[in-house]
Amino acid sequence: MSLLNILRYPDPRLNKVARPVTVFDARLKQLVADMAETLYEAPGVGLAATQVDVHQQLVVIDTSDTHDALQVFINPEIVWASAEKKVYDEGCLSVPGVYDDVERPAQVKVRALDIDGKPFELTADGLLAVCIQHEMDHLKGKVFVEYLSPLKRNRIKSKMIKEEREMQRQAQGRRVG
């Protein structure tokens, strides 16, 4: 297994729409394992393949406190969403250090394939429902900050660009000496 590089907002690759997974092989299993390792190391509760620059419809989620309940969603689709909405304080591994309120359906029913290509359905609420919707947005090329006002989004974008420049400067400084 190996850690994967997580793209940072506003990287344009985060806006690519993912293609369906059509081959269920050892390469896919390795990608799932690498994504799980990356998720736990980050640490986070969900990671979409888009975030690691793989534009396939694949999401890994683990909302447990013990990091032992990994769920894999391949080619997921929401087949039902509740009319009831809830506001959650969301964050994202691609937008580190930024959290804000996003309103989403309180419950969803998702249909997906597992790692072996077998179909399943799952009804979720609470954190799992939020996570499923958040990660599925990534597969559509959408980052959670796009739910925020243009002013907030622009501030976050500027902050992320500034942080990226600073990290690059620090990395160059280490190489020079």
Tokens standing for residue 99: 């959290």
DSSP line for 75-92: EEEEEEE-S-EEEEEEEE
Q: Tell which residue, 63, 23, 66, 25, has the closest CA to residue 47.
A: 63
**Alpha-carbon span 40 to 152, nearest angstrom:** 28
92 labelled binding-site residue: yes
67 labelled binding-site residue: no
**Alpha-carbon span 122 to 78, nearest angstrom:** 10
Residues with catalytic roles: 135
134 labelled binding-site residue: yes
- Quote the DSSP letter at residue 16: P
Strand spans (E) along the chain: 46-48, 58-61, 71-81, 85-92, 95-105, 107-113, 119-125
Q: Annotated binding site, which residues?
A: 92, 134, 138
Q: Annotated binding site for Fe cation, which residues?
A: 92, 134, 138
